[in-house]
Amino acid sequence: MRAALVSDAYRGPVNATAPQPVTNREFTETLARTLGRPAIVPVPAAGLRLALGELADVLLTGQRVFPAVAERAGYQFRFTELAGALRACLRGRAPVSASARA
């Protein structure tokens, strides 16, 4: 976000997403593996809809959003895969990349 604010290379809306989108199921399974815990109980769709209304559809169907503007501007992601990013975050070692400090 900082890079988009300070660099003229960014124009228009910028998707603050990872370069490799995953489904909620993939995210949950990867997080469970990273934590060394099972991911066996899915959240029921009806419960999400009751709690979140229309917002639940975003979680249930996904968005497949890509960071095209950031990639065109030359942003270098420190982590291109979810597992590495989660491991770093959970260890408290997710340093800000050089291009984000720009």
The pLDDT of residue 61 is 80
3-state secondary structure at position 15 = coil
Reply yes or no on whether the pLDDT at 95 is more than 70. Answer: no
Q: What is the pLDDT of residues 44-86, one digit of tens each?
A: 889 999 999 988 888 788 778 899 999 999 999 999 899 999 9
Number of domains into which the chain is organized? 1
One-letter identity of residue 102: A
Confidence of residue 93 (pLDDT cuts 50, 70, 90): low
Average pLDDT over all residues of the chain: 85
Say whether pTM exceeds 0.95.
Answer: no
Burial class (CB in 10 A: 0-12, 13-18, 19+), 93: exposed
The pLDDT of residue 59 is 79
In terms of residue numbers, what domain contains 17? Answer: 2-101
